[in-house]
Structure formats: structure tokens, C-alpha cells
Amino acid sequence: MKNIVILISGRGSNMQAIVDADIPGARIAAVIANRPDAAGLVWAAARGIATVGLDHKQFASREAFDAQLAAEIDAFQPDLVVLAGFMRILTPAFTARYEGRMLNIHPSLLPSFPGLHTHQRAIDMGCKVAGCTVHFVTAELDHGPIVAQAVVPVLDDDTETTLAARVLQQEHRLYPEAVRRFAAGELQIRNGRIGGVDAAAAGLALQVPVL
């Protein structure tokens, strides 16, 4: 059984999707938020999951907060740390501590559009597809070995809000599957990459729009 600690900042919809997936071989040991009033903490506690609210505003530096956050995480002996809408830039020391066992989901097809406002940037650039990426966390923001990606079309009348909603639906499908693969021991990092596309899929191509 793999112990999973999930970090959130708000309602934690991806956290909820992972919990609801009831992943074989995975135990959600705790949900930790950097905002004590995060709605996701209430949701998790109602389901019997241990919760911790650790207010980052009460710490003098990012390093001090990360050190205490690591102590809170380690109390639950995690095999995997999952960032699910955790809106904090993590220090290199923190990311190194959980190297190879910390996942994040980002609302773009990395390496395109790291950072914020991903959906509007995709629209502004005239992208025909957008999506989301699950990746292992490294010290470089929104980088690290890619585990899985999901793709959605960008519609002519899309706004940042409508595109975000369509991508979020895929996040809720993709993230639990990535955690399942970790729990099953299927994610092996080799030369900075993770396998996952076999020969049977090699001839497939996604074309948007269809010409």
C-alpha cells in the first residue's frame, strides 16, 4: 500500500477526483493546504482523511515554510506527494527531498505554456489544441519527466473560462490514472523520460481541425 499525501490551496477538485477514484494499492494518508481556510480540507476531513492547514503567511521566508511543510508531510511517511492545485513555488531543497516521488498537474501541454494564464495564452497564440500534463516535479517550474498528457480542441468561440473547464474535465480523468500507475510501480524514469507510448499507438495521429 502506497501512502499518498496531497497538497492543495483551495477546493482541490483534482484531490477530490483522486480520492473518489479509490485507487488500488494507494492510501490517501493526508491532505495538506497552505491556506487553513481551504475548502478542500473540509471535504477531505468529512471523508475521514487527516488534514493539516499550514498558513504560509505565518513564516518569515519561503525556506522556513517549506521546511515545516516537509516535516508535516514526512509525519505521514509518504511514498508519493501529489500537488493538486498547490499554488506555491517550491524551493530547490524541497523538490530535491521528494525527487522521483512528487507529481504535479499543469493545465497545458508542457513544455508549452509553463506558468500562469495557460488557457488564454493558448487562445491568443491560435493553438488548435490545448490540454494538461502530469509530470514529476523538479526544481525548474513546470518541468520534469512527463507522465501523461490529455488533449482537447480549442474551439473558435472559446474563452479562457470555457477552455479551462474543458481541460479540467480531462485533468480529473488523467491525474487519478497517473497516481494509479505510480502505485502499481509502472512509472520508471530513464534518461529523464518515462515510457508509455507503445508500438501499437505509433501510427496514430491527432489532427485538429480535421482536413
Residues with active-site annotation: 106
Give the burial class of 39: count Cβ atoms within 10 A of its Cβ; 0-12 exposed, 13-18 middle, 19 or more buried: middle
Please list, in sequence order, all residues whose beta carbon lies within 8 angstroms of the beta carbon of residue 152, skipping any fewer than 6 positions away: 129, 130, 131, 163, 166, 167, 170
Enter the C-alpha cell of residue 103. 507529481
Query: How do beta strands 2-8 and 26-33 pair?
Result: parallel
CA dihedral angle for residue 176, residue 178, residue 184, residue 188, rounded to 10 degrees: -170
Question: Measured over all CA atoms, what is the biggest interatomic distance in the chain, rounded to whole angstroms?
Answer: 56
Q: Is 171 helix (H, G, I), strand (E, B) or coil?
A: helix
